[in-house]
Structure 1
């Protein structure tokens, strides 16, 4: 019987933490751990990515779609550097990930090939926890601490294991490490509720509000029923952050959609007309679309007290879990809905939906990208997952894809790094192989990581109970990401991308591929790929000149006058420039 090594201990600790799979790319400095994973019989499974950046995105995507700790590994030097993008994604979107990095510092004259100072490299992105393994007996506790820290802080952590340590033998008499905490890995460590006095103050503020708006973020992911109940009691309108889009049923008549640059006019108008704002689990950075400072009184609910008031002034802070905090508020808030305000909100939603339909139906050469997402919206399976990349596709996803309850959706919401969607989709599919998964991306993102990771899809798909992993590529050959208004980093003179036969590449790998360049064939193309017996690439040739048309912030012309309250009020009286705000004035 072979001697037990530290690499075997690593696998045992991963198994103890119920880690189903590890994403990574092999290399000499991490080879002993990879070999131990290969010998583990799939518990946990090792998923080799084509690039370490993709592996880190897969780990972050696993954390996002499953609420578990994602795990990735890499070798030293360039391999470790390549992990940074996905780890920063996890850090900025508050997801638990553990990175295991190998290091071999033996070399001529004391200098190792590919040597980089890993403590400094990961010191920012994994600032909560970066540790080196030194002795075999330390490794189990070190990994446990990395997992506990990632879970408690909702952030990435890093453990560096020297190659010599990985191959070190562990005496048979060494006691096994103690079992890890009970419960679901990645779940909350404790019940967190605000003080009664704060809940009473928040309930009083919300009850006295005449025009209440609720902004929902990803931190409210389990609180949909409580948000709807509170909105009905107050007659409130609801908007979401981009990351909060999957939280609520978007078919609700008072759901105004996503707020911000990629969002809807109805959401911007809701913020412009409200006098009371409830923020639930959101750290939305698009504050230009928030109400004018001084316009509203605000309650914010967040489990992380460090985020209270960082984006907008708050009158009543509530540090606590969103679901339980909202239940406590519901027990204190009487049913006093303002039906006139709710009617104003619903009218704005109806106008926006008509506008969105008109935009999607507008002619383009050859296909309007908005139509592609609208056609999907009518066909979207009522279970499964959607992964969205960075670029103009985010605008069309935010406005035109209506997510039914039960469909999970994720994107690189805060970092905004291109190339995440296909790694995310793979992580989601591996976690639930019996459900359909869609990846939505542009041709630029497909050329970043997508073409390579389709090889990974081709390697795994025959084991999936539901073979559907559909990759939409919006092929506009535009490097700028600006859309027709020329607002991207390269302006209106954006470089043209080389054209790639994306659907043909899928067919070459043994997958299904469809290329569509006529608008009347978009719907049938979706029907074909959603019914395919294997993963598919739908390549839609779309018009790069279609404008992004970001909504104007309500009362945008007043934002330079907020320092002069009297001037702002005078101008506001004569410059109510949205229909919703005008109607809101009539309710005063």
Structure 2
């Protein structure tokens, strides 16, 4: 029987080393689904509960494996559902290849069922590469270009294949005019170096500095050894953008933790006190948490030259691979010893960890959400992978989780979309089936799509060598981050009709779906429950009843934020008294003396 375009599509995916495709079936991809049936589970079709989750899982796989994730969806609504996950990939610079069906060519333009103009729909999100396969001969080069563009540009790409083309007999491109051949799949390593003059200029700026700060983002991943050497040579402190939380471990005394609205006080102090800034692979958008403009001379390293100077004015632009560029910069530096600056940074860091510990122990009703992550941080395996969702729980992840060993962690950094953590965790498990995975999820995100994707995790548990798949739900009955944003940014009290969530026992639901569900209402049980989860021989869901009135206070509270919050409470916020009490007690921990 002759091979179809669908058959050849899967054969080419195998050549690209694709081991699984995340997706959901539909008649717009019947030709591809039939090919999966003939392919003996190579690559594996991983059925999520929703196409958005398929895209998120592909993003999670790509983030934690470093290889392109692949997702597939049917025409019309299936393709539309992919968009949120693909925008997550675009904004966080993640390689994902999306393959979508389309109505048959004979029906295009005829207002046919599920007839959506997919080229217009995908032209922004897949701007790195978008193609429609209208004849079989197009398949090899379009698919190859989709992978090469995704890897080279670290971006999502998309391939649209009409239903009748999928089922057509495959014919390879000929060595002829108006036909395009393609080379075998390959993964060339990129190691770009800046010009020598720019390296010299950067070294001159760093050598002249007295109080040096480094901001490391996800572009610094894999350059940890060189980054440590640079930090030691310059006596710098290192702050980490949220997407770069795992680029350096938090047990280094000069690592100040996350930066930005969800960041730490030592990172804020580092930026306020420095006279020189080195930005490595970061596009952190909150420039107000960087040094004041004109305060610091800046050097920036980024593989994408269009990102240089976007957040802070720089004097030296180093376009290149982070590891190679830092290695080339190191011998140009003149170690001069800045012990006072480094000692100040390390003192701030040590004091901050003490503050966080005390804040996590502040009494709450019933559980302080900070303590959830602090107890996790003390017990999490050194090789664990952590996927965080978007919401107030992200604040506790950003501040309280101490990265160590070979831990990996990520979240929807730039799109900040809800509902990504459980699909991310599924993608992480397929990337590293031999490692434990933890998803930290707010109850809003859990209700949005996390509950459904528990089914997906339970369904594929036998594919994973390490059975530990842990989901922790911060159950506070409130869309909590938006509630706090209403107070601090809008001066508006909590509006219960939009903010309150339906009550549900996530542990009971999890028990029905094949998880071990555990409900926690006593903070003293948190440690033993985390121990149980990491000792389990199967998936575990921890349903922690958290206090919604513990404030996610930023490292620096502006006068406007304080004024707006006060106005919101005075306008009749239903939780005004608890908010005030928790806020005062939490902030007070920063003022207490430290053991140092």
The Cα offsets for residues 325-370 of structure 1, whole Å up to 9 and x where unpaired, read as 0001111112222000001111111221121111101000000000
Structure 1 residue 228: Cα displacement: 1.1
Please tell me whether residue 27 in structure 1 is matched to residue 29 in structure 2: no
Structure 1 residue 525: Cα displacement: 1.0
Q: Which moved more, 1:526-535 or 1:275-284?
A: 526-535
Paired position in structure 2 for 1:168: 168
Counterparts of residues 494-505 of structure 1 (less than 5 Å): 494=496, 495-505=499-509
The Cα offsets for residues 297-316 of structure 1, whole Å up to 9 and x where unpaired, read as 00000010000001110011
Structure 1 residue 229: Cα displacement: 1.0
The Cα offsets for residues 245-270 of structure 1, whole Å up to 9 and x where unpaired, read as 10001111111111100000110000
Unmatched tracts of structure 2, length 5 or more: 562-589, 591-596
Question: TM-score, normalising length from structure 1?
Answer: 0.91
Give me the whole-angstrom Cα distance separating, in 2, the residues matched to 1:257 and 1:451.
31
Structure 1 residue 488: Cα displacement: 7.5
Give me the whole-angstrom Cα distance separating, in 2, the residues matched to 1:391 and 1:180.
44
Counterparts of residues 59-208 of structure 1 (less than 5 Å): 59-105=58-104, 110-170=110-170, 179-183=183-187, 188=189, 190-208=190-208
Structure 1 residue 294: Cα displacement: 0.4
Give me the whole-angstrom Cα distance separating, in 1, the residues matched to 2:77 and 2:142.
24
Question: Among 509, 512, 527, which residue is 1:508 paired with?
Answer: 512
Contact 2:287–2:311 at 8 Å: present in 1 too?
yes
Distance 1:111 1:482, change over 3 A: closer
Paired position in structure 2 for 1:523: 527
Runs of 4+ in 1 over 4 A off after TM superposition: 105-109, 171-179, 482-485, 488-491, 553-557
Q: Residue 90 of structure 1 aligns to a residue in which SS? A: helix
Q: Residue 336 of structure 1 aligns to a residue in which SS? A: coil
Structure 1 residue 90: Cα displacement: 0.5
Q: Residue 94 of structure 2 aligns to a residue in which SS? A: coil
Give me the whole-angstrom Cα distance separating, in 1, the residues matched to 2:25 and 2:474.
32
Paired position in structure 2 for 1:298: 298
Structure 1 residue 553: Cα displacement: 7.1
Contact 2:199–2:329 at 8 Å: present in 1 too?
yes
Contact 1:16–1:179 at 8 Å: present in 2 too?
no
Structure 1 residue 179: Cα displacement: 4.7
Paired position in structure 2 for 1:432: 432
Structure 1 residue 483: Cα displacement: 6.2
Contact 1:478–1:544 at 8 Å: present in 2 too?
yes
Distance 1:553 1:266, change over 3 A: farther
Unmatched tracts of structure 1, length 5 or more: 558-579, 581-588
What RMSD, in angstroms, separates the aligned Cα atoms of the two structures?
A: 2.2
Distance 1:474 1:553, change over 3 A: closer
Give me the whole-angstrom Cα distance separating, in 2, the residues matched to 1:191 and 1:520.
50
Q: Which moved more, 1:97-106 or 1:323-332?
A: 97-106
Structure 1 residue 162: Cα displacement: 0.6
Give me the whole-angstrom Cα distance separating, in 1, the residues matched to 2:474 and 2:109.
52
Q: How many residues align?
A: 553
Distance 1:80 1:226, change over 3 A: same
Give me the whole-angstrom Cα distance separating, in 1, the residues matched to 2:224 and 2:109.
61
Q: Residue 349 of structure 1 aligns to a residue in which SS? A: helix
Give me the whole-angstrom Cα distance separating, in 2, the residues matched to 1:191 and 1:401.
32
Paired position in structure 1 for 2:494: 492
Paired position in structure 1 for 2:209: 209
Counterparts of residues 355-374 of structure 1 (less than 5 Å): 355-374=355-374
Q: Residue 449 of structure 1 aligns to a residue in which SS? A: helix
Structure 1 residue 178: Cα displacement: 5.3
Paired position in structure 1 for 2:241: 241
Question: Among 530, 534, 542, which residue is 1:538 paired with?
Answer: 542
Q: Residue 379 of structure 2 aligns to a residue in which SS? A: coil
The Cα offsets for residues 156-204 of structure 1, whole Å up to 9 and x where unpaired, read as 1111101110000125998997553434xxx64x320011111111111
Give me the whole-angstrom Cα distance separating, in 1, the residues matched to 2:493 and 2:113.
42
Distance 1:173 1:143, change over 3 A: closer
Contact 2:480–2:548 at 8 Å: present in 1 too?
no
Paired position in structure 2 for 1:256: 256
Q: Which moved more, 1:103-112 or 1:451-460?
A: 103-112
Give me the whole-angstrom Cα distance separating, in 1, the residues matched to 2:205 and 2:268.
22
Give me the whole-angstrom Cα distance separating, in 1, the residues matched to 2:229 and 2:559.
30
Q: Which moved more, 1:515-524 or 1:30-39?
A: 30-39
Contact 1:4–1:172 at 8 Å: present in 2 too?
no
Q: Residue 243 of structure 1 aligns to a residue in which SS? A: helix
Contact 1:483–1:545 at 8 Å: present in 2 too?
no
Give me the whole-angstrom Cα distance separating, in 2, the residues matched to 1:303 and 1:38.
41
The Cα offsets for residues 283-304 of structure 1, whole Å up to 9 and x where unpaired, read as 0001111100000000000010
Give me the whole-angstrom Cα distance separating, in 2, the residues matched to 1:281 and 1:93.
12
Paired position in structure 2 for 1:272: 272
The Cα offsets for residues 350-399 of structure 1, whole Å up to 9 and x where unpaired, read as 22112111110100000000000000000011103110100011100011
Give me the whole-angstrom Cα distance separating, in 2, the residues matched to 1:108 and 1:350.
64
The Cα offsets for residues 486-514 of structure 1, whole Å up to 9 and x where unpaired, read as 34788523421011111111111122111
Contact 1:389–1:442 at 8 Å: present in 2 too?
yes
Q: Residue 387 of structure 2 aligns to a residue in which SS? A: strand
Q: Residue 492 of structure 1 aligns to a residue in which SS? A: coil
The Cα offsets for residues 22-43 of structure 1, whole Å up to 9 and x where unpaired, read as 1111000111112212321222
Contact 2:217–2:282 at 8 Å: present in 1 too?
yes
Distance 1:347 1:556, change over 3 A: farther
Q: Residue 46 of structure 1 aligns to a residue in which SS? A: strand
Contact 1:480–1:488 at 8 Å: present in 2 too?
no
Q: Residue 378 of structure 1 aligns to a residue in which SS? A: helix
